């Protein structure tokens, strides 16, 4: 069944609920509003044109996204935590002709208009401001009839830019009738058991691929998407209890924050409605996942994937038999190769290479597009890892994060996984810093938990804690304390920002 089928069968069922303020849209309301907006946009735009979304989490995000998807347009989610130059790059580079913005982001939206010459149509998801017309008023004037024929549009996500300038992931439009399920939606239905009974919870910003993609998949499969304005550990448990959430998606940082809640707080909320908790986006320390499984039971599923292609998954019982794995490939195969592209033996760390990745190009960047694929046409997402004898994948780290100290390859993820659960640590990053003798030295950059103060004694304690659990050469030789680490709201750590502090002053 498609989105439209569920509109017909369950018109009054909530398609989206905003957990923060209780605002919601039924399937029929979402269908009508997105259909009217689709008609409005297609009067202004040609097939495949780009619509930039500078929106906070709310029902309007889905009105805009479904309008583009049902009218052969590409929608470009924009990270509103970026500064005006960074966000302006995405809007300008994507050739967006329409900008739909939240009035709370009016200052940034107005700045983007000034730096984006292609923009010709501006809408506000709320009160009008500047040259931004009210979205609600604009679509109210449109006839409540579909634009025929309705054909599938698509996402145009930009990479998070953790290692450089964001890259627009551009896929060809398929010409498929609206309602055709995307490959990821088929995986979500078949492997993660999403169906009309699903109530899916996402606390992450919808401008990221997984929160928006999985929420829309929930709706196209007949379920209800519950979105939060931002992640808050205790509020998450309250939302799960209140809305009887069945499926929820997190990143490992969210797990850590929930585990840091006092036990009596965690036990205060009824989370028994959960049938599946899904996590991705970053490797999860083994002990963190063990503690989550102990708390919630064997309902935690993990996947690894990139927007550009490649997907693995693992269920709780498989994971317990292969602790640390991110699973086996779904819909393709994976190889681990050396720098020359030759397959390495089982257990040896190398570059990950996926076959059967869906074709795409980095918008206006043929060199980076070419570099993403190797001579055999395999997708190389830039991650490193190894396979065990049963074909389960274990991640080492991003190749760009690898530390080379005295000619030895060190993957900082290992030390981070150990240090994460020290009670003094709220957040931690391990990086390589310049060293005259070794080339690079391992350093931990630490954000402390409440009640702890930085100092030499604590730094020594953290180093000793790591060395008691890992080989000495993998552990930090020094520790710096910071007020906060540079993380995106998705949980991704901007290590390049940390490295700049040490390498640019070298």
pLDDT band at 339 (very low <50, low <70, confident <90, very high): confident
Q: Please tell me the predicted confidence (pLDDT) of residue 501.
A: 86
pLDDT at residue 500 above 80?
yes
**Cα Rg, the chain, nearest whole Å:** 23
Provide the β-strand partners of residue 427. Answer: 447
Mean pLDDT for 126-137 is: 96
* pTM (2 d.p.): 0.86
Say how far apart CA 27 and CA 13 lie, in whole Å.
6
Q: Which two three-digit tokens encode residue 262?
A: 């006092």
The token pair at 490 is: 């998705």
Q: Is the pLDDT of residue 82 over 80?
A: yes
Q: What is the mean pLDDT of the chain?
A: 92
Largest CA distance in the chain: 72
Residue 427 lies in a domain: yes
User: Do the domain assignments include residue 256?
Assistant: no
Q: In what order do the strands lie in the sheet with 50-54?
A: 133-134, 121-124, 98-101, 50-54, 74-77, 154-155
**pLDDT higher than 70, residue 11:** yes
Q: Which of 16, 28, 492, 70 is nearest to 214 (CA)?
A: 16
Q: What's the DSSP call for residue 132?
A: B
Residue 76 lies in a domain: yes
Hey, what are 265's tokens? 């707080």
For residue 108, what are the contacts with CB-CB under 8 A and spacing of at least 6? 54, 80, 84, 87, 101
Q: What is the pLDDT of residue 506?
A: 52
Q: What is the DSSP letter of 401?
A: G
Does 337 map to a domain? no
Q: Which of 185, 200, 220 is the last residue of a domain?
A: 220
For residues 85 and 262, give the distance between their C-alpha atoms in angstroms, rounded to a whole number.
Answer: 41
- pLDDT tens, residue by residue, 448-487: 999 999 999 999 999 999 999 988 989 999 999 999 998 8
Candidates 440, 412, 430, 421; CA nearest to 485 is: 430
Q: Is the Cβ–Cβ distance between 73 and 49 less than 8 Å? A: yes
CATH number of the domain residue 451 falls in: 3.30.300.30
pLDDT value of position 436: 75
Give the total residue count for the chain. 506
The strand pairing partners of 305, in sequence order, are 311
- Strand-pairing partners, residue 26, are 14
Please report how the helices 209-220 and 59-69 are oriented relative to each other, as an axis angle in degrees rounded to 10.
Answer: 70
In a domain, 307, yes or no: no
pLDDT at 402: 81
User: Percentage of the chain with pLDDT > 70?
Assistant: 98
Q: Which residue has the higher pLDDT, 281 or 427?
A: 427
Residue 86: inside a domain, yes or no? Answer: yes
Is the pLDDT reported for residue 367 higher than 70?
yes
Please, what is the end-to-end C-alpha distance for the chain in angstroms?
59
Phi, psi dihedrals of residue 403, rounded to the nearest 5°: -100, 130
**CATH number of the domain that residue 95 is part of:** 3.40.50.12780
The reply to whether 338 falls in a domain is: no
**Pairing of β 247-250 and β 199-202:** parallel
pLDDT at 52: 98
Q: How does residue 421 score in pLDDT terms, banded at 50, 70 and 90?
A: confident
pLDDT: is 481 or 492 the higher one? Answer: 481
Q: How far apart are CA 144 and CA 129, in angstroms?
A: 26
Q: Token match 């007020």: residue?
A: 483
The domain of 470 spans 402-503
**CA-to-CA distance for 381 and 389, rounded, in angstroms?**
23
The domain tally of the chain equals 2
For the segment 155-202, what is each residue's pLDDT rounded down to a tens digit? 999 986 555 678 999 999 999 999 999 999 999 999 999 999 999 999
User: Whole-angstrom Cα distance, residue 320 to residue 257?
Assistant: 22
**Cβ(239)–Cβ(245) below 8 Å:** yes
Over residues 45-65, mean pLDDT: 97
Question: Within its chain, how far is the Cα of 418 from the centroid?
Answer: 24
**Lowest mean pLDDT across 18-22, 116-120, 492-496:** 492-496
Alpha-carbon torsion 124, 127, 130, 134, what sign? positive
Provide, rounded to the nearest whole percent, the portion of the chain with pLDDT above 90: 72
Domain assignment present for 367: no
Cβ count near 163 (within 10 Å): 14
**What pLDDT score was predicted for residue 163?**
52
């Amino acid at each position: 069944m498609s989105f439209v089928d569920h509109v017909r069968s369950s018109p009054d069922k909530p398609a989206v609920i905003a957990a923060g303020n209780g605002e919601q849209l039924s399937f029929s309301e979402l269908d009508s509003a997105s259909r009217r907006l689709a008609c409005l946009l297609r009067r202004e735009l040609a097939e495949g044109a780009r619509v930039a979304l500078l929106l906070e989490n709310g029902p309007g995000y889905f009105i805009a996204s479904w309008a583009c998807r049902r009218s052969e347009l590409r929608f470009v989610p924009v990270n509103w935590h970026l500064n005006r130059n960074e966000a302006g790059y995405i809007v300008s580079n994507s050739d967006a002709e329409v900008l739909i913005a939240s009035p709370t982001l009016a200052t940034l939206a107005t700045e983007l208009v000034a730096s984006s010459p292609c923009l010709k149509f501006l809408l506000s998801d709320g009160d009008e401001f500047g040259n931004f017309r009210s979205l609600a008023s604009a679509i109210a004037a449109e006839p409540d009839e579909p634009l025929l024929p309705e054909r599938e549009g698509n996402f145009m996500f930009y990479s998070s830019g953790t290692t450089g300038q964001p890259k627009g992931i551009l896929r060809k439009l398929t010409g498929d009738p609206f309602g055709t399920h995307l490959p990821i939606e088929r995986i979500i239905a078949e492997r993660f058991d999403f169906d009309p009974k699903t109530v899916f919870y996402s606390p992450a910003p919808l401008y990221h691929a997984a929160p928006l993609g999985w929420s829309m998949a929930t709706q196209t499969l007949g379920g209800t998407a519950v979105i939060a304005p931002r992640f808050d550990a205790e509020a998450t448990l309250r939302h799960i209890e209140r809305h009887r959430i069945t499926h929820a998606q997190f990143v490992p940082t969210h797990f850590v924050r929930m585990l840091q809640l006092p036990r009596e707080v965690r036990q205060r909320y009824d989370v028994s409605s959960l049938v599946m908790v899904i996590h991705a986006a970053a490797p999860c320390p083994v002990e963190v996942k063990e503690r989550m499984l102990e708390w919630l039971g064997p309902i935690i599923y993990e996947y690894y994937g990139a927007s550009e292609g490649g997907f693995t998954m693992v269920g709780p019982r498989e994971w317990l038999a292969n602790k640390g794995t991110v699973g086996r490939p779904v819909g393709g195969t994976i190889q681990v190769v050396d720098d020359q592209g030759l397959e390495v033996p089982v257990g040896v760390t190398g570059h990950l290479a996926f076959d059967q990745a869906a074709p795409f190009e980095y918008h206006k960047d043929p060199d980076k597009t070419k570099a993403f694929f190797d001579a055999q046409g395999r997708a190389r997402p830039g991650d490193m890892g190894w396979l065990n004898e049963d074909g389960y994948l274990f991640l080492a780290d991003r190749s760009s994060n690898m530390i080379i100290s005295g000619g030895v390859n060190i993957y900082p993820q290992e030390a981070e996984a150990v240090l994460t659960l020290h009670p003094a640590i709220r957040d931690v990053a391990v990086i390589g810093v310049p060293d005259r003798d070794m080339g690079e030295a391992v350093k931990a950059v630490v954000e402390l938990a409440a009640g702890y103060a930085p100092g030499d004694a604590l730094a020594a304690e953290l180093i000793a804690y790591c060395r008691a659990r890992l080989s000495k050469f993998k552990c930090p030789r020094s520790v710096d304390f910071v007020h906060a680490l540079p993380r995106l709201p998705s949980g991704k750590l901007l290590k390049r920002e940390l490295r700049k502090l040490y390498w640019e002053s070298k």
